[in-house]
Amino acid sequence: MAVKIKTQYGTIDINNDVIATVVGGAATDNYGVVGMASKNQLRDNVNEILRRDNYARGVVVRQEDNGVAIDVYIVVGYGTKISEVSKNVQQKVRYNLDSMLGIAANSVNVTVQGVRVLAD
């Protein structure tokens, strides 16, 4: 599926993979986020074997009538305030979607899948 934006010059189609990549980049750019997680373990294991960085890992994009709904699955660093990290992810994802793609996010749901202890 894709988001369609109609302009006076024609139609712009933005694929869900593009949206997921922008969201993943925005999420991992926040202090306290050490990685992305996903419910799809098979896909995660394949990415580890291929050693390929995939910002879309851990992002689910759902089309709605007047925008998109985003689910982000993250892993945070031990010692950070999880609620603040989650709020920052929500704000940055909304801002990046609006500024980069011109898409309104109806909701940004952040799920913390784990906490990782970082080496000093």
| 79 conformational bin, left if phi > 0, alpha if psi -120 to 50, beta if neither | left
What is the rounded average pLDDT for all residues in the chain? 84
41 within domain boundaries: yes
Q: Over the stretch 58-97, which tens digit does the pLDDT of each residue have?
A: 899 998 878 899 999 988 999 899 999 999 999 999 999 9
Query: Domain containing 107: what range?
Result: 16-116
9 within domain boundaries: no
105 within domain boundaries: yes
Q: Over the stretch 42-63, which tens digit does the pLDDT of each residue have?
A: 555 544 433 346 777 789 999 8
92 within domain boundaries: yes
User: Which H/E stretch holds residue 25?
Assistant: helix 16-28
- Looking at residue 60, which CATH number applies to its domain? 3.30.70.1350
5 within domain boundaries: no
User: Which H/E stretch holds residue 26?
Assistant: helix 16-28
Counting the structural domains of the chain, the total is: 1
Q: Are strands 59-64 and 105-116 parallel, antiparallel or unpaired?
A: unpaired
6 within domain boundaries: no
